[in-house]
Amino acid sequence: MNKRKLIVGNWKMNGSLAANESLVRELLAGIGQPRCEVAVCPPGIYLAQLQALLAGSPIELGVQNVSTHEVGAFTGDVSAEMLKDFGVRYAIVGHSERRQHQAESDVHVAIKAKRALAAGITPIVCVGETLREREEGMTDFIVKRQLAAVIHLNGHCSSEIVVAYEPVWAIGTGQTATPEQAQQVHAVLRAQLKGVTEHADRVRILYGGSMNAANAAELLAQPDIDGGLIGGASLKAADFLKIVGAAA
């Protein structure tokens, strides 16, 4: 199936009003009509600014998190319906940094995916193993367990998600899975999806472990790698645009 690749910039906790405007203007000046889908996920406090800056452009707006709750006494949370007010198209759920620092469980991630889907927002479900888990030969078990929780709760709607494989040992470390290592895990995830939905081939599986301007083309050439979840390189317009170009 010929599906457009998806390149998503995860800005993490970086940015300011001035820096965001400068970065977005550079991106818009260089992006033209991309042959892949493109989104950026700023810190939530900047959603209104980014909604205005990206209006009418080919770059979609995403977020880095969404609440497990719909409404109510949940101080600090932001619901999927609130995000929808700002034209949010994608929501990252279960990023390894949140699993590690905010103790998010597989169940939390599955519920967040469900809340996003119910609001018409596409969840980008992150899965990935630590270095120790890889060394112990547990990679397939870990990523399948993480994805299974989302599939179990969301059933046939699982064909509407995006999956991002992000080996924890390759995030922000400069290490990257080889294209062969990444493809091997992507193929495992694709096979798992095929077991639950006839639309598995339309689910995009992104690679999210230190993809950059230098290695993007080789990673994106793999048969089951449908795009990238980009961290550090998404904060540099020239690098991000090179990755977008490689995805075409």
Known binding positions for substrate? 10-12, 172, 210, 231-232
**Pairing outcome for strands 59-63 and 37-41:** parallel
Q: Based on the residue annotation, tell me whether 156 is a catalytic residue of this protein.
A: no
Q: Is position 81 annotated as part of the catalytic site? A: no
As a whole number of angstroms, the distance between CA 81 and CA 71 comes to: 9
Q: State the Cα–Cα distance between residues 32 and 195, nearest whole angstrom.
A: 38
Catalytic one of 37, 97, 104, 166: 166
Name the one residue in this structure whose structure tokens are 């452009």.
Answer: 57
With 0-12 CB in 10 A as exposed, 13-18 as middle and 19+ as buried, what is 127? buried
Using alpha carbons, select from 126, 89, 120 the residue that is nearest to residue 108: 126
Instruction: For residues 134 and 109, give the distance between their C-alpha atoms in angstroms, rounded to a whole number.
Output: 22
Residue positions forming the annotated binding site: 10-12, 172, 210, 231-232
What distance, in Å, lies between the first and last C-alpha atoms of the chain? 16
> Which residue in the list 95, 97, 129, 186 is annotated as catalytic?
95
228 vs 248: CA distance, rounded Å = 12
**227 DSSP 8-state letter:** E
Just list the catalytic residues: 95, 166
